[in-house]
Structure 1
Amino acid sequence: MNERPSSLVVRPSGCPGLLRVVQALDGGICRIKLDGGCIQADQAEAVAAVAERFAGGVIEATNRANLQIRGIGPEHNALIEPLLAAGLGPRTPAGDDVRNLMLSPSAGIDRQMLFDTRPLAAQILFTLQTHERFHELSAKFAVQLDGGEALAMLEHHHDLWLSALLRDGEPWLAFGLAGTPLDKPAGRVPLAQGHTLVVAVLELFLDLARPDQTRMRHLLAEIAEDELVTRLASRVPLQPCLDWQREASIDELHIGIHAQHNDRVYVGAGAPLGRLDAAMLREAGQVAREKGDGSLRFTPWQSLLLPNVRGEDAGEVLERLEALGLVCSLDQPLAHIIACTGSSGCAKALADTKADARQLAELLQGQRHAVKVHLSGCPRSCAAAHIAPATLLAVAPGRYDLYFRDATLPGFGALQAHNLTIEALGRWLDAHPRSPLDA
């Protein structure tokens, strides 16, 4: 059972956690880190109940497949205790910040997966939370474990990534530092050595990094990767990985009805602009009880999956999720738009990005090409963990600069237009039907 001792001192950080409620313009924020993005229906009910009782009822699906409760009032402990009782807390209080392990939302059920990553993930999560030294890691330090699934977020950068491969029928893990599975690996290890590798990488990082070097990229700016890998090889046997190529993922698989590797399907639906209310979450859990296996899986695309649904029930499940207000078709513009909290909840934001995003979605309704666009209220880019094909950066209420992603340029990419209104952006898209926004 997870406990929160009354004497616990939570370390200072600007990152919210389950035990650390961080203040924003619209009230407190509590972040609930989900193991592999998974939550049981009764746990979803607990989140919905405390969001209604102790907060403003706003629940956010994050781009790391976690949940956040916003608008929390002064009764922080009263909100936290039911979540701990529901099993949503860390194994040890000090382990809350560092349980940052991202899996594919379809881990264990994906038709393209090379092997099930969940047993190794459980080992890694246990160690992250119970190995006292790892509690020194930054709350942003993150690990990715990829099983080769068709549905996988491959663009988010992680401090350590591991990705499945097969050699002569045997399971291995390619790995890399401060990047993604789309990058050149630093090496490979047998699957059975995956946990040992993670421990060795994290301990080596803590041995070498200064207090101000909180992320792997900071350490690599001072120590060459080859030197770091050589030091790592003295702790765990490594093999070169010269012919690595990760198969492309299919982002569109996070919405709609899709076959699993067994005779069941999963059903995916998006949280509009990353937000749910308590009724949405509660009822989605109820549908999972009735038609799935009683679980929900959240995704880095701010959507949720109901796994292990019978094929004959899938249409009804999708209809019920749509009736809740979830985004259930890729034809809906909101399926391709993300937005930060905006000026309604964040003092740093220059525009009400959520309201502007909804207006943009209405303008784009009926357009033939899908627009993948990110509205950011300030340059911090909180809503996107990687650069979107198009970014609208707020410069004033209701006005934005438009950028296109360009790998040769820093930040959001190439500036295309300045000081656009949402209406002007709609007209711009009409005039540029083959724009890079289609990427």
Structure 2
Amino acid sequence: MVGMLAAMPPPAPRFAQPDDARFRVRGDACPGALRLHRADDGALARVRVPGGVLTADQADGLRELAVRLGDGELHLTSRGNVQLRGLGAECGGELASGMHGMGLLPSERHERVRNVVASPLSGLDGRGEREVRPWLSALDALVCASGEATGLSGRFLFALDDGRGDVDALGADVTLRARGDGDAELRIGALESVVRIPADEAPRAALLAAEVFLAAAGSGFGSDSGFGSGSGSGSGAWRVADLPGGGGPLFDAVVRRLRAAGLPVARESVPVPGGAPPALGVVAGPGDTDALSVGLPLGRVDAVRWRTLTDLAREHGAGELRLTPWRGVVVPGVRRERAPGALEALEAVGLVTGPRSPWSGVSACIGRPGCAKSLADVRSDAASAFPAGPPAGALPVHWSGCERRCGHPRGEWVDVVAGPDGGYRLSVVRDGGRSGAPVRVAGAPDALTDAVAAARVPRT
């Protein structure tokens, strides 16, 4: 792979280094692959991976870049993308050239319009109402062909749900969900109102909804925008939840835009599902192949473990990896007779293969020394403060080095936040609020272990 990357002619993509003046203008500061972010552990790049789908060759190429240019690890995000950390300040051109050669930079202007999650097990386990891969391909092509879509921020999120409700539960800005009657539902933010549309028109409808959002964010739903009365001054919103009026006025505007485009639409009320990530372990498929679902401890993986995954995908699977928004990896297409042994091999290198793993349900921000805002080395503290395995049904737990809580899960979870005194504050998040008063715990491992274990016990 090193030789293959080196032999490719550089396409001369435009890129910005962390000290570039473009970093100092106001607006979307989210890093990408062409605009790096300076962290305390070096520069950081976020790689656009729509739907979390990587070929084995692309995955190998990212590993090679991480080893050669960064800290040697790959870090998964809660959007199913990849971060490379510890990059040298002058590596931008080489990094961009390598990713372009692997097909991971289909459009320079859209590389930060990257957040498209999809049901990771779609088409693999016999569940779901339709395979969403055609939606993924169509939406990605439409986004990359849209000049308006370049205005979407690096935080804007599309979700493509095959009907099982897993990624519909993530609160994306625009969600498509397959229905059993052959149609699709379009949801805006976390509203319970949806628009029923023909499934074949779903990707176009999703892009239209995103373009309506951009008009709303730029106009503030002003009188000149077609969104009703308002100041027209512009909200500068990056996500639907940031709009001053919330998602309701945007939903109405999207319905009007879809009808004006000639799409048959019907408004319905459909609650947001609870959702759940893929179960860890062997996922039985309808044919003679299975999928393997594994987690990465704290969402990061070194070159040895990553190569174990890519070699398995290439030699015994379908030649691809599916990255999940729960910082896991699905390897599809493994022959059924090989699946148990392959899972054991993944467990042997330290990947999370079942709910009884100590790392199951545990996540954390990058913490010290990578983040200057962090008050603690949360990853080391998390590693020191868990028992041999969580109880059945244990709540997820997320460790944060500061009040920003970067990368925290959705739904019900245990919130562990570092404090300025060297201790932590624990609370349980339920239904968007906190249950009871936070508990302050000193940084001693035994005290943290007991407190976190007690907080993770689910309600009866």
Q: Tell me the TM-score normalized by structure 2.
A: 0.85
Is residue 224 of structure 2 the alignment partner of residue 213 of structure 1? Answer: no
Letter of the 2:173 counterpart: D
Residues 41, 7 of structure 1: CA spacing in aligned structure 2 closer, same or farther, 3 A cutoff? closer
Q: Which moved more, 1:59-68 or 1:426-435?
A: 426-435
Residues 33, 415 of structure 1: CA spacing in aligned structure 2 closer, same or farther, 3 A cutoff? farther
Letter of the 2:101 counterpart: A
Identical residues among aligned pairs (%): 28
1:372-430 per-position Cα deviation (integer Å, ceiling 9, x unaligned): 21111112121225255111011137521111113263xx6543312443422322356
Task: Return the offset for 1:161.
Answer: 1.0
Letter of the 1:87 counterpart: G
Is residue 178 of structure 2 the alignment partner of residue 178 of structure 1? Answer: no
Q: Which moved more, 1:217-226 or 1:123-132?
A: 217-226
Is residue 382 of structure 2 the alignment partner of residue 357 of structure 1? Answer: yes
Distance in 1 (CA, whole Å) between partners of 2:250 and 2:60 is 45
- Aligned match for 1:323, one of 326, 337, 348: 348
Is residue 299 of structure 2 the alignment partner of residue 285 of structure 1? Answer: no
- 1:157 aligns with 171
Distance in 2 (CA, whole Å) between partners of 1:48 and 1:264 is 27
Is residue 151 of structure 2 the alignment partner of residue 136 of structure 1? Answer: yes
1:58-77 → structure 2 map (5 Å cutoff): 58-74=73-89, 75-77=91-93
Distance in 2 (CA, whole Å) between partners of 1:23 and 1:432 is 35
- 1:260 aligns with 285
Q: SS at 2:385's partner residue?
A: helix
Distance in 2 (CA, whole Å) between partners of 1:370 and 1:81 is 44
1:266-314 per-position Cα deviation (integer Å, ceiling 9, x unaligned): 0111111101011211221011111111111111111111101111000
Q: SS at 1:217's partner residue?
A: helix
- 2:268 aligns with 242
8 Å Cα contact 1:172/1:189 also seen in 2: yes
Structure 2 gaps of 5+ residues are: 1-7, 219-233
- 2:224 aligns with none
Letter of the 2:349 counterpart: L
Q: How many pairs align?
A: 425
8 Å Cα contact 2:37/2:44 also seen in 1: yes
8 Å Cα contact 2:368/2:376 also seen in 1: yes
- 1:271 aligns with 296
- 1:383 aligns with 407
8 Å Cα contact 2:120/2:323 also seen in 1: yes
Distance in 2 (CA, whole Å) between partners of 1:204 and 1:249 is 27
Residues 353, 238 of structure 1: CA spacing in aligned structure 2 closer, same or farther, 3 A cutoff? farther
Distance in 2 (CA, whole Å) between partners of 1:144 and 1:123 is 13
Structure 1 gaps of 5+ residues are: none
- 1:41 aligns with 56
Q: SS at 2:184's partner residue?
A: strand
1:69-115 per-position Cα deviation (integer Å, ceiling 9, x unaligned): 111113222233222211122x2200101132110111222311111
Distance in 1 (CA, whole Å) between partners of 2:408 and 2:138 is 28
Q: SS at 1:424's partner residue?
A: helix
Residues 69, 372 of structure 1: CA spacing in aligned structure 2 closer, same or farther, 3 A cutoff? same
Is residue 9 of structure 2 the alignment partner of residue 16 of structure 1? Answer: no
Task: Return the offset for 1:6.
Answer: 5.0
Distance in 2 (CA, whole Å) between partners of 1:172 and 1:158 is 20
Letter of the 1:84 counterpart: H
Task: Return the offset for 1:23.
Answer: 0.9
Distance in 1 (CA, whole Å) between partners of 2:455 and 2:148 is 53
Q: Which moved more, 1:398-407 or 1:291-300?
A: 398-407
8 Å Cα contact 2:209/2:254 also seen in 1: no
Task: Return the offset for 1:333.
Answer: 2.2
8 Å Cα contact 2:394/2:456 also seen in 1: no
Residues 61, 433 of structure 1: CA spacing in aligned structure 2 closer, same or farther, 3 A cutoff? closer
CA RMSD of aligned residues (A): 2.7
1:149-176 per-position Cα deviation (integer Å, ceiling 9, x unaligned): 37x2343221111111123xxx111111
- 1:29 aligns with 44
Letter of the 2:212 counterpart: L
Is residue 203 of structure 2 the alignment partner of residue 195 of structure 1? Answer: yes
Distance in 1 (CA, whole Å) between partners of 2:411 and 2:316 is 36
1:24-48 per-position Cα deviation (integer Å, ceiling 9, x unaligned): 0101111112121111111111111
Is residue 430 of structure 2 the alignment partner of residue 425 of structure 1? Answer: no
Task: Return the offset for 1:246.
Answer: 6.8
Q: SS at 1:196's partner residue?
A: helix
Q: SS at 1:224's partner residue?
A: helix
1:194-242 per-position Cα deviation (integer Å, ceiling 9, x unaligned): 1231232122222232251222223362673564245334424353353
Distance in 1 (CA, whole Å) between partners of 2:321 and 2:252 is 42
8 Å Cα contact 1:63/1:300 also seen in 2: yes
Q: Which moved more, 1:323-332 or 1:225-234?
A: 225-234
Distance in 2 (CA, whole Å) between partners of 1:407 and 1:158 is 17
Task: Return the offset for 1:432.
Answer: 6.7
Q: SS at 1:242's partner residue?
A: strand
Q: Which moved more, 1:191-200 or 1:30-39?
A: 191-200
8 Å Cα contact 1:337/1:371 also seen in 2: no
Residues 59, 122 of structure 1: CA spacing in aligned structure 2 closer, same or farther, 3 A cutoff? same
Letter of the 2:437 counterpart: L
- 1:302 aligns with 327
8 Å Cα contact 2:32/2:111 also seen in 1: yes
8 Å Cα contact 1:395/1:419 also seen in 2: no
Q: SS at 1:251's partner residue?
A: coil
Q: Which moved more, 1:77-86 or 1:202-211?
A: 202-211
